[in-house]
Structure 1
Amino acid sequence: MGTYFSEREFAQVEPAENAFRSPIPTQVISNGEFNPPAQTAQQKQVEARIKELADTYGAKLGMDRRRFLQTASGMAAAFVAMNNVFGNVFDVSEAEAADPMMAQARADGTKGQFIMDVQTHWVRDDYNQEGFVGFLKSVNQLERSGLDPSKISVYDVKFENYVRQIFLNSDTSVTVLSGAPFDDTSWEFLTNQAIADGVKMVNKTAGSTRILGHAVVRPGQPGWMDEVDQALAERPPASWKMYTIGDPLSAKTKYPFRLDDEKLMYGFYEKIDKAGIRNICIHKGLMPSDYEESWAGVWKYQTAWDLPKVAKDWPQLNFIIYHGCFRAFMDQPGAALAEFEKTGDIKWATELSRVPEKSGTQNVYAEMGTSFATTAVIDPRFAAALLGTWIKGLGSSNVIWGTDSVFHGSPQWQIEALRRLEIPADMQRKYGFAPLGAANGRVKNQILGLNSAGMYNINLRASYPRFTEDKFAQIKEEYRTAGTLDTLRDNAAHGWIARRPA
């Protein structure tokens, strides 16, 4: 698991733009941080079935395959294909794929649903660490691997595409713009000042509060509390972002820390409590299968080991665990599901779900970014198990929507996946999971937006009309009125996939 692919690794990948343009990815997409696994036999079946459905129903509507898959019926067809291969996990019927009016009626049923994505990114204009997004610095290296550099652009993860993919090409209402710490600061996606400036720029353009911002904090690094003081004085954030592992891309990370380190952290908690900015977003999880060897000495900082004490000591603060403390990042497909079916546990995520029982508090949350997207693509039954585990232990009021976009492209397919997902009945019976319910039912409304709205003090009664009338809403409505809104959906993926057979 490396930041840059080696020459050998490059021979095994190709640009994700070369993948089949499906409404739902049919294989895992890497942003360059990890080696993407090859498309599984089941994913190949899903892709073949999507093509079959698109050709059948597209022809009846006078559309070619690509155009059909941009429509609501095309999205429905993709979920039909997933059910055909993995079993009935998603609420969808083939009639939606066949009948655009039925598909549109389904979409209209969730129109106006408040969706708040608390984990989003873009990179600054002068960002030059292209290895992070899966691009080599040298065009020569790309050419030696037989890849076409003209198909790859850092634009995919910059501001303009962020607005397009999130606010025009998805149902997202409000976002939180985030960042990440690195021991080498040249790797930062955005500085805290740039995050604050970006928030102002988007909201001024939209004419409403469409985006909130993090301030990234770096506990243990020289001057880190001075940076906190500066943020509070000059640009108070909506919440704080930190990584207990320190640098998330280097096993030689210099500044890992525990949340319950009284000497290091408790002064910070006192300060932010006094300031009234009490949401702390913490990256935990997403480690390779050989983590005990490749991240020896530091991997435990990615676990939930420090949460029971700190949650109990600081019940007035919210500890929002990004990626839901899901460990099994890019394991061999099926390995995590097999472990779950054998033990009933999901490594690290189950530990997180047990924190309320240990701490006696309800101030720990699971955020879903990347964990939900990758598991839904590899095996939606396991995605259901992961979501069921979080909800059973933490409660549906403590599971938070995030997508890690725009690194993953438009979040719309992830939104649709959660709206349609149901925990299979056999899994509900065996593990005591509650059903997720309707797309706009209580549980999914909570997860998709209401939980975060409460946490970030967003008064929906006062604010929501502005979201439906602001500049972004007007642009979206112009496309809809012209009948061209779905043409914004390019179904493109950005990054890298395992090289497909010729």
Structure 2
Amino acid sequence: MPRRRDDDLPLRFHPLSNGEYAPLRPSPVVDEAIRRTLDLATTNARRTGMSRRTFLRSASGMAATLTALAACSSDARRSRPSATGAPASTASSTTTTTTADVGAGGTFDLPPEATIDTEVATSVLGGTDGELVVDVQTHLLDLPAGTTRGFGAGFPQADCGGTLDECFGTDAWLDLVLGGSDTTVAVLSAIPVVADPDPLSVEVMTRARAQAEALGCSDRVLLQGHATPTLGRLDDALDAMSATAAEFDIAAWKAYTHEGPHWRLDDDIGTAFIGRARDLGQRIICVHKGLGPAAASPADVGPAAVANPDMQFCIYHSGFEVRVTEGPYPGAPDGAAAGGVDRLVASIEAAGLAPGANVYAELGSTWWNLIQRPDEAAHVLGKLLLAVGPDNVLWGTDSIWYGSPQGQIEAFRAFRISPEFQDRYGYPALTDEVKARILGLNAADLYGVDRSVAACQPSTDDRAALRAELDDRDVGGLHGPTTAAGARQVFAAEHPWFG
């Protein structure tokens, strides 16, 4: 397969999807960021006596990538016409990579020396032994060896170094998520597959957890049950929930309101589903909201949360849509119709829910896309922090579709919301304490995770060594579909009722 310009970058900017939306082509800003990163890497690799590829795999390589992206975003911001029609700044665009200007809405905050000094880069981007990172949305596919057809065939398996089962199976998930990234605890999250066999059934999840525990560490994997209340008779679906809960140790329920005949969290079907979850003792409801189908709108979240104050609602993707440009929240009437994350904020606001209530906003796929759009990232994180509170934003990556989650983790550590955006829109600062809550402490509180589990994961040095080994084997690359046709193929396999 032909190599792409970003193949050696620690963050992949190639079009990529989790299969639920058509991937976007890189923007001109991203194209320029790739060019500047490669130029800077060539120079700094020579100065440090490394090959360019080795340099890009280092912490300084990530720092160079994020610094270039921040600088290109800053240049693009300055070149936009102001209200008078003149450029916002007379500063000309330059190919020099510098830190972003202070007027940035969202940026990656790294000292200039981080792009050549790995110790400085690691001090910002690296994890620490004992740090807690809880990823509440991860996936794998348990496919028979040699699988080439059916679900998963739309994924670019050649890009991750092996066959479908090698790229998406339990071994790959363990290496990429629990072994080679800073993830301490991972939730295996159900996918909208109702065919038999389901490659991520609760039976598959249970085997994956047992395999993780066999490596010598328990309590690092949490499981979800998949509820499908409109596929067949409702009573049968509720009985299936009861059977699942009786046989398997599940921590939450996962549902898709656009799965099968559409339903809402606050209609009779949703009320019955939530009631059965309550009766079974699972108080966490994880629901997909955003990324395409109209029936996945988060408009029903606020009413359902108010009606069920003893239940906790984890909103996957936070209502994000890849083709909606995120800006400041326009208020409830306009927000409900605006699309994207504003719909979730409007639903919460209209229901009268205060920050810290029983709605949690999750970032899987959302953050991966927003890394390339720093100002929009600042708006999304700022709006969510105001709407649900700093204790109710949850870390999720939608891995394994985007390969290793490590790049997403490191980019989040370096990200900040500018003082200008804080003053203008009232967004809170994204402090180290807030980041620690989002990355792991919030989910630990929600799921009852013992924080001492962090002592059981591999050390930072061992994780780095495994990442280097995976890089050498070209295992950690693109996993999700990279074309609109591939995304449609995956979506059709997952959602046959839309056909």
Q: Common fold, TM-score beyond 0.5?
A: yes
Q: Deviations over 1:361-411 (max 9, x none)?
A: 41111110001111212x121111111111111111111100000111011
Specify the SS of the correspondent of 1:352. helix
Q: Deviations over 1:178-220 (max 9, x none)?
A: 12224x5148431222222222222232322111111111012
**Residue 419 (structure 2) pairs with residue 399 (structure 1):** no
**What does residue 278 of structure 2 align with?**
273
Which among 302, 325, 345 is matched to residue 336 of structure 1? 325
In 2, distance between residues paired with 1:356 and 1:282? 15
**What does residue 458 of structure 1 align with?**
449
**What does residue 376 of structure 2 align with?**
382
Which among 64, 82, 104 is matched to residue 77 of structure 1? 64
**What does residue 134 of structure 1 align with?**
154
TM superposition score normalised by structure 2: 0.80
CA contact (8 A) 1:436 1:443 kept: yes
Specify the SS of the correspondent of 2:108. coil
Aligned amino acid, residue 478 of structure 2: A
Aligned amino acid, residue 57 of structure 1: N
Shift of residue 32, structure 1, vs aligned partner: 5.0
1:52-451, aligned counterparts within 5 Å?
A: 52-87=39-74, 88=100, 89-107=107-125, 110-126=128-144, 132=152, 134-135=154-155, 153-154=163-164, 155-182=166-193, 185-186=195-196, 188-222=198-232, 223-246=236-259, 254-262=260-268, 264-287=269-292, 299=294, 301-326=295-320, 328-329=321-322, 331=323, 336-337=325-326, 347-361=339-353, 362-377=357-372, 379-437=373-431, 441-451=432-442
In 2, distance between residues paired with 1:271 and 1:149? 42
Shift of residue 108, structure 1, vs aligned partner: 5.4
The size of the alignment, in residue pairs, is 437
CA contact (8 A) 1:133 1:495 kept: no
Aligned amino acid, residue 245 of structure 2: L
Shift of residue 225, structure 1, vs aligned partner: 1.2
Gaps of 5+ in 2: 75-99, 101-106, 485-499
Which stretch of structure 1 is more off in the superposition, 185-194 or 67-76? 185-194
Which stretch of structure 1 is more off in the superposition, 309-318 or 149-158? 149-158
Q: Deviations over 1:252-302 (max 9, x none)?
A: xx321111123x233433333233210010001001xxxxxxx6xxx2x21
**What does residue 32 of structure 2 align with?**
45
Specify the SS of the correspondent of 1:305. helix
Specify the SS of the correspondent of 1:365. strand
In 1, distance between residues paired with 2:463 and 2:384? 38
TM superposition score normalised by structure 1: 0.79
CA contact (8 A) 2:417 2:430 kept: yes
In 2, distance between residues paired with 1:68 and 1:487? 15
Shift of residue 341, structure 1, vs aligned partner: 8.9
Cα RMSD after superposing both structures: 2.9
Name the CA shift for 1:38/1:203 in 2 (closer, same or farther; >3 Å): same
Aligned amino acid, residue 456 of structure 1: Y
Name the CA shift for 1:22/1:342 in 2 (closer, same or farther; >3 Å): farther
Name the CA shift for 1:308/1:39 in 2 (closer, same or farther; >3 Å): closer
In 2, distance between residues paired with 1:284 and 1:18? 33
Shift of residue 83, structure 1, vs aligned partner: 1.4
Name the CA shift for 1:48/1:110 in 2 (closer, same or farther; >3 Å): same
Gaps of 5+ in 1: 1-13, 138-147, 247-253, 288-294
Which stretch of structure 1 is more off in the superposition, 236-245 or 36-45? 36-45
Specify the SS of the correspondent of 2:339. coil
